[in-house]
Structures are given as structure tokens and as C-alpha cells.
Amino acid sequence: MPTPHPLLAHFTDAADGRFPPCDGSVTVLPPLAGGLECSVAFTGHAVVATALPAAEVHAQGPDAFGGSMAAHFLHRLAGPGGWTGCVDAVLVARGTGGPPRLPEVTSQEAADHPRVRYAREIRSGVTVHGDERGLIIMADGLAGRRELSIELHTPEQTGKGVGRGLIEDALSLVEAGDPLFVAVSPGNARSLRAFLSCGFVPIGSEVIIRPNRG
């Protein structure tokens, strides 16, 4: 079995309520698998996973009170030809286990869905589940943590508890007590409210980067 990326321990510790020290420092870790890098912010402590030397990262002046998420720092990290994702809030909940309440979906239509294609570009172990309400994408995501994302079939379903019910059913796809993470754009207030109402709690924020520094 491959050695877990050290960033995974930061996520699992945060899921248990153990956070890095709120001291304003920035921890630099090796890059992620698949050529990806990231900047992760906890309260008063940042973690950057990159192939750049730690001294070069610190020379760019990031701090753990917003600086590690600043656009100029992220663009320098990515390089002139790199791709920088959006800033997402990171939330975690615990799986409920038991009989899975959502069947796996293997249709070509599901495989071609833009959210599924995007998941396969930056994640591994992707499976798709769902029903008439929408799709749940399960994957091994950032640093190998277990993640989910959700897509309702029709936007008109929002605000009626449909998304919340789908998320609650998705928790049955994870062993009882195991952490399950989501990354949600803060501007997607409906999605954020749905996850919060299902017991997900925020632990930090993150940006995924595919660097190209020339």
C-alpha cells in the first residue's frame, strides 16, 4: 500500500477536532499525486503542497491569515501556464454506514456528465450513484481523502429538501464513523446550507493547482 500523503493527516485530524497551531505559520509539504498542488488554510495555519522548495514558498510572503489564499500568491505558485481552481470551503461529516441507500449509476450519460468528467481529471476511485433526484460522485480526492459532490437533475428541485435528502442518503455509502469531505464554493449558498443542515462542519478552505512554471 502506498504511503499516505502527509496532508491527509491534517484533514483527518481536523475531522476529529485537532487543528494545527493558530500561529500564523505556513507548512510546506511535497506535491500531490498526478502533478497537482494545493494551498489549504486552517484557522491561523496554512499548508501548501508543492514541488517548490520551502524557502522559495516562504520568500513569496504567504501568511496563514488569508495570505496563502491571495490571488497573487496562488498565481505565483501555479506559474504562468498553470491552472488555479477556485477557493472552496472544506467541510466534513461522518458516514452512517448500513445498507447503501443509493444505487451505483453506470450509464454512459452519467459517465459523460461534466461534473463526473471533472472529478476524473483530478481525483481517483470515482464512482457515481444516484436516483431520480440527482447524482452523487464519490472519489478519493485531495491527499487521498474520501470526498463527495452532488448534482441535482433539475435546478427547480432546490429549496425543497431534495438536495438535503440526497446528501443524507450519500452518507450511507461510507462506513459508519469514517470521515467524508466536501469542497463547496462559498458563493454556492444553497449547496452550503444543504451540507450544513446534514451535519457537515467547516474545517478550512483550499485551492487546487495544476502548475506549469515554464
By C-alpha distance, which of 21, 18, 58, 65 is closest to 41? 65
Q: Assess whether pLDDT exceeds 90 at residue 2.
A: no
d(CA 159, CA 192): 12
Q: Assess whether pLDDT exceeds 90 at residue 154.
A: no
Indicate the average pLDDT of the chain: 95
pLDDT cut 70: percent of the chain above it? 97
What is the per-residue pLDDT across 94-109, written as a single tens digit (0 to 9) for each? 999 999 999 999 999 9
By C-alpha distance, which of 95, 124, 112, 89 is closest to 205? 89
Contact in structure between 171 and 4 (CB atoms under 8 Å): no
pTM over cut 0.85: yes
Secondary structure, 3-state, the chain: CCCCCHHHHHHHHHHCCCCCCCCCEEEEECCCHHHCEEEEEECCEEEEECCCCHHHHHHCCCCCCCHHHCHHHHHHHHCCCCEECCCEEEEEEECCCCCCCCCECCCHHHHCCHHHHHHHHHCEEEEEEEECCEEEEEEECHHHCEEEEEEECCHHHCCCCHHHHHHHHHHHHCCCCCEEEEEECCCCHHHHHHHHHCCCEEEEEEEEEECCCC
What is the per-residue pLDDT across 173-213, written as a single tens digit (0 to 9) for each? 999 999 999 999 999 999 999 999 999 999 999 999 999 99
**Amino acid 214: pLDDT:** 80
- Cα torsion 172, 177, 183, 186: sign: positive
Region 132-158 average pLDDT: 90
Q: Assess whether pLDDT exceeds 90 at residue 155.
A: no
pLDDT cut 90: percent of the chain above it? 94
